[in-house]
Amino acid sequence: MIRAVIFDLDGTLIDSAPDIWRAANRVLEEAALPLVTFEQSRSFIGRGARVFVERMERAVTGENVAARTDHLHARFLYFYERAHDGTVVYPHVVETLDQLRVQGLRLGLCTNKPLRPTTAVLNHLGWQSAFETVIGGDSLPVAKPDPAPLLAVLDGMALGREEIIYIGDSETDAETAERADVQFGLFTEGYRKSAPDQIFHHFRFKDYRDLAGHVRAHV
């Protein structure tokens, strides 16, 4: 029986790509490096802040240099924690979260966004208590697609794998769910790079008004 819905954050509940792009270019500008386009920045999202910075650095310099990567990563985290003024919630997310709660379902969050920027954006959106358990990209020594962060959310909520559905938008989220052996719902309007048919999922949706029905069908 499904008792909870666990969500990814960036590209799933919120569109933060414009703020992440601005944070990235502030770091690059500060370091006197070439800037990246919005499309480049968006393509770097998904595997956590460190991988984002490594991809960004390679794109503008052609390589990763450990000391420089460390510096860029530290500066990116500084700006990232403050980058939420342009972040928007996807349409109908708020009412859908309320609807799921009315259905008696518990909510959790499993994101590769580092915990401090995650907490900052949740506070900015007034979602401080929206999710029972929140695991960020740096909460554990490993990040998604390793299943450990998702399983940590389950542990924090005292739930079994068969009791949750994970909702995400990307190949990373899909791989995480598959490796954790949990049901996965794919939000198709996020940051995926492949066609939906090529991504592991039990159901997919592009409008949040359809999510509660999908969840009911998989209870």
* Helix or strand run (H / E) with residue 31: none
- Does the N-terminal peptide bond of residue 145 adopt cis geometry, omega within 30 degrees of 0? yes
Distance of CA 74 to the CA centre of its chain: 20
Distance CA 84, CA 127 (A): 13
- Altogether, the residues listed in the chain come to a count of 219
Whether 8 is catalytic is yes
Q: Which of 8, 138, 169, 173 is catalytic?
A: 8
Distance CA 87, CA 140 (A): 25
User: First vs last Cα of the chain: how many Å apart?
Assistant: 5
- Residue 93 near residue 101 (C-beta atoms within 8 A): no
Nearest-5° Cα angle at 152, 79 to 49? 20
Distance CA 167, CA 153 (A): 13
Q: How far is CA 113 from CA 29, 48, 104, 147, 163, in A?
A: 22, 6, 27, 15, 24
Q: How far is CA 118 from CA 100, 144, 184, 190, in A?
A: 22, 15, 22, 17
Q: Which residues are catalytic?
A: 8
